[in-house]
Amino acid sequence: KNEVEQSPQNLTAQEGEFITINCSYSVGISALHWLQQHPGGGIVSLFMLSSGKKKHGRLIATINIQEKHSSLHITASHPRDSAVYICAVRSYDGGSQGNLIFGKGTKLSVKP
Amino acid sequence: EAQVTQNPRYLITVTGKKLTVTCSQNMNHEYMSWYRQDPGLGLRQIYYSMNVEVTDKGDVPEGYKVSRKEKRNFPLILESPSPNQTSLYFCASSLRFRLLQYNEQFFGPGTRLTVL
């Protein structure tokens, strides 16, 4: 079983729709990252969370530490949001604090 | 401009021929890391460095070496490349990697390596 699971794997939406991408993890973590990988391959860091909720523009990320679950929401989606969204967790076992474990990504396509 | 650079961006080589992929950042970041990305497997961490002369293994370190002699540079060395190391490689850096402290990771543009 993967330590970080994302759902759905693929998502197609119409412009303007509200989008939710989910990330569940099975390890103890100190933080969770959301990344965006553009069609050209470049990767951008969107959020890092250790609790609660963060908002940046049309993007909202939430995390529930007790349930080991995080969601990334996109409001009023736009074709330029089309990308692969990747969840990564910073596992904390005391000995490898720099280690990041990644989900396999959610490919989002927003149609005009 | 603040950035992470990788060279080369594309490389085709043959089995066993030693190669180095360079990574450099101009943001005075302490933390640097190497990842590989493969279809169906996603991103996986190879090695990371919390600071100069401090490196540690990630999830898939076999067949790779790294060094961190200077803060700005973190080269990835393949002493004897094999076809299973054909992949897309990303270098990344962040200011620090302290627990519970937000530090955005900045990614390089990627290096596409093919080992024949």
Mean residue pLDDT across chain B = 92
pLDDT band at residue B95 under the 50/70/90 scheme: confident
* Sheet of B4-7, strands arranged across: B4-7, B19-25, B76-78, B65-66
Residue type, B58: G
Whether the CB of B95 is below 8 Å from some CB of chain A: the reply is no
Question: CA nearest B44: which of B52, B55, B32, B33?
Answer: B33
DSSP, res A81 = G
Question: Choosing among A35, A96, A100, which should be mutated to test the B contact, i.e. which has the most B CBs within 10 A?
Answer: A100
Q: From the first residue on, what is the mean pLDDT of each consecutive set of 10 residues in chain A (112 residues)?
A: 89 97 91 92 90 94 95 97 94 66 95 96
Cβ neighbours of B46 in A, within 8 Å: none
Q: Do B105 and A33 touch (CB under 8 A)?
A: yes
E-assigned strands of chain A? 4-7, 10-14, 19-25, 29-37, 43-49, 52-56, 59-64, 69-74, 83-91, 100-102, 106-111
CB-nearest partner of A103 from B42, B48, B105 = B42
Full DSSP string of chain B:
---EEEE-SEEEE-TT--EEEEEEESS--SEEEEEEEETTTEEEEEEEEEETTEEEE-S--TT-EE--SSSSB--EEESS--GGG-EEEEEEEES---TT-----EE---EEEEE-
Q: Is the Cβ–Cβ distance between A60 and A69 less than 8 Å?
A: no
**Chain A residues near residue B59 by CB distance under 8 angstroms:** 99, 101
Higher pLDDT: B105 or A1? It is B105
Contact residues on chain B for A52, CB-CB shorter than 8 A: none
Question: What is the tens place of the pLDDT at every residue in B29-41?
Answer: 999 999 999 998 9
Q: Which pLDDT does position A30 carry in this prediction?
A: 81
Count Cβ–Cβ pairs < 8 Å, chain A vs chain B: 61
Contact of B57 with B50, CB cutoff 8 Å: no
- Average pLDDT over every residue of B10-32: 96
Q: Is pLDDT at B110 greater than 80 in this prediction?
A: yes
- Nearest Cα to A92, choosing from A52, A48, A32, A45? A32
- Residue carrying the six token digits 């302290």: B98
